[in-house]
Amino acid sequence: MIEIAHVSDLHFAWAPGDAGVPAHGFLNKRLVGYANLRFHRKNPQAIADALGEDLRAHPPDHLAITGDLTNLSLPGEFRRARDWIESLELPPERVSVIPGNHDAYVPEGLDLFEETFAPWLPGPSWPREQRAGPAALFGTSSSLPVPWFRAWGALGPEQLDSLSRLIDASDAPLKAVLVHHPPVLGNGRPDKPTRNNRDGARLIEVCRGRVDLILCGHTHEAFDYTFPGERPLRVFCAGSTTMAPKTHGQAATYNRYRSLGGRLNEIVVRGFDPQLGAFLSLSSRRPAPAGLTPAPS
């Protein structure tokens, strides 16, 4: 049995006095993000610390982090995120990390991402493949700097072609693609154009019948959707694992996928309990059988 833990949208804040840029470094799209941060979004460090405790207490065989590790692509936020990953004490080959749109908030964001997470990024460019026993994980980047008030993403034809070739070449019985922007939401339809994955339909085409899992983040609301078939394609969004419990009426949660013999056979959801200050198991279920589409969750 192997277990893949899937966390997302950790949105680390910079430590006081350690943003890593002078004041004029905020005179760009970061202004919008800063306002959003002040008035709407909260990802307390205490929840990230509790998540770290949980992952250290129950180390998964592999950890997938599906983007938005920062808020404003600030060097200080990237440092906090890297320190957190290091604190898990998992070897680099057991951690996959991909960028989210907040890690590409300004043009220098993606270079900072590459620099900061170099130990966890095998190969020179996306897609990047890692192996976890019977599972192959293909990390992609749908994140690129987009105009103010926009949060859409795209993979591009070159990355999709490379992904298709990697999938073909892999003999892993369980295949998972990591992408920040979900190709569909829990209702099976794409997100709105200002925040969707513009290559979502093409990604589904590449993956259907050849891949078992698409793991994503971005929406801050956990959901899953299954494309039925002989080899079902299951899309899981982990939500925002460090989101303050009341922000969207949804708790901070993450998923653990258990696989036996290369098949997904259990999905465990763990969530943050504010009273305990710790993560605990919220639910455990078996995936819907092949050929059936579950009701949107």
Which residue ranges make up the site for Fe ion (CB under 5 A)?
Answer: 9, 68, 100-101, 218
> In whole angstroms, how close is the CB of 22 to Fe ion at the nearest point?
26
Chain CA centroid to CA 210, Å:
21
Contact 190, 203 (CB under 8 A): no
Residues whose CB falls within 8 Å of the CB of residue 210, separated by 6 or more in sequence, listed in order: 167, 168, 175, 231
Residue placing its CB nearer to Fe ion in the complex, 30 or 175 = 30
> In whole angstroms, how close is the CB of 188 to Fe ion at the nearest point?
20
> In whole angstroms, how close is the CB of 95 to Fe ion at the nearest point?
19
Residue with tokens 């036996």: 260
> In whole angstroms, how close is the CB of 100 to Fe ion at the nearest point?
4
Amino acid of residue 138: F
> In whole angstroms, how close is the CB of 273 to Fe ion at the nearest point?
22
Residue placing its CB nearer to Fe ion in the complex, 271 or 287 = 271
Residue placing its CB nearer to Fe ion in the complex, 92 or 156 = 156
Residue placing its CB nearer to Fe ion in the complex, 101 or 140 = 101
| C-alpha R_g of the chain | 18
> In whole angstroms, how close is the CB of 57 to Fe ion at the nearest point?
26
Residue placing its CB nearer to Fe ion in the complex, 150 or 165 = 150
Contact 203, 177 (CB under 8 A): yes
The SS3 call for residue 236 is strand
Residue placing its CB nearer to Fe ion in the complex, 9 or 191 = 9
Give the count of alpha carbons within 13 A of 150, CB side only.
Answer: 16
Would you report the helix, strand and coil content of the chain in percent, each value rounded to 5? 25, 25, 50
Cα→Cα distances 31→26, 27, 35, 67, 103, Å: 6, 6, 6, 21, 15
